Structure 1
Amino acid sequence: MEIEDILNKINEILVEEFEVDGDVIAADKNLKETLDLDSLDYVDLVVIIESNFGVKLVESDFADVVSFQDFYNLIEKKILAKQD
């Protein structure tokens, strides 16, 4: 899966599941603030990402995730690790 495909799929999921306008999603924006995520939303996000990409996410994975780009990098890293 190419990085562009990963980004497009993630953005599609975020728009559908968190009911945000796709125009507000930008790599440098704050993920939590833009999506107005609370702790339950993070759980939903983890479940959705795990089921769509077949990766396992744990709480510590999100320690350095601030922006959408951080989140994209995390998912890409998990997908690449799964392929090895």
Structure 2
Amino acid sequence: MTKETIIEKTNDFLIDDFEIEEQVLEPSANLKDAIGLDSLDFVDLVVAVESNFGVKLVGEDFTNVVTLQDFYNLIQSKLD
């Protein structure tokens, strides 16, 4: 899967499932601050990634995830 496809699919479920405005979805956006995800949203995020990409994420996977770009990279690393 290409990086562009990962970004597109991720942005789609963030917009649809988390009701995040498209203009906020910049790679440098902070997941907690700019996008406004809280700890419960991260649980839903894990479920969304599993259903959209077929990969499992655990809490430790998010240790170094701060920005949306970090999140894209995490998904890509799980797919490789």
Same fold flag (TM > 0.5): yes
> Identical aligned pairs, as a percentage?
54
Aligned length: 80
Whether 1:54 aligns to 2:54 is yes
Counterparts of 1:25 and 1:8 in 2: how far apart (Å)? 11
Normalization by structure 1: what TM-score? 0.90
1:7-47 per-position Cα deviation (integer Å, ceiling 9, x unaligned): 00000110111101111110011011122112111100100
| Larger Rg, first or second structure (1 or 2) | 1
Superposed, 1:2-81 pairs within 5 Å as 2-80=2-80
Unmatched tracts of structure 1, length 5 or more: none
5+ residue gaps, structure 2: none
RMSD over aligned Cα atoms: 0.8
How far has the Cα of 1:76 moved from its partner? 0.4
- Return the structure number with greater helix share: 1
| TM-score, structure 2 normalization | 0.95
